[in-house]
Homo-oligomer: A and B are copies of this chain.
Amino acid sequence: MDHIYKTVDLTGSSTVGIEDAIGKAVGRAAQTLHNLRWFEVDEIRGGIEDGAIAHWQVSIRVGFTLDDNAID
């Protein structure tokens, strides 16, 4: 109950779909941030090539507890 949380804004890309793009952004965040707790989807978009969806881009806000992470 006494935690302080910080959120950062990331965008993941995927040729597979929306959930996969989110998963990649979360996975990348987990490489350097500990104590990840939740994410919220801010925007879903994507690139089109030759008249078809070429990749998905999903922007998320990721929240984590500020225990041994620095604030920048």
Contacts and interface: CB of A to CB of B under 8 A. Distances in A.
| Copies of the chain in the assembly | 12
A30 B4 contact: no
Contacts of A43: 40-41
A36 B53 CA distance: 10
A26 to B, nearest CB: 6
Given A47-B1, A48-B39, A19 B17 contact: yes
Nearest to A1: B55
B28 A4 contact: yes
B44 A37 contact: no
A53 to B, nearest CB: 6
A5 B60 CA distance: 10
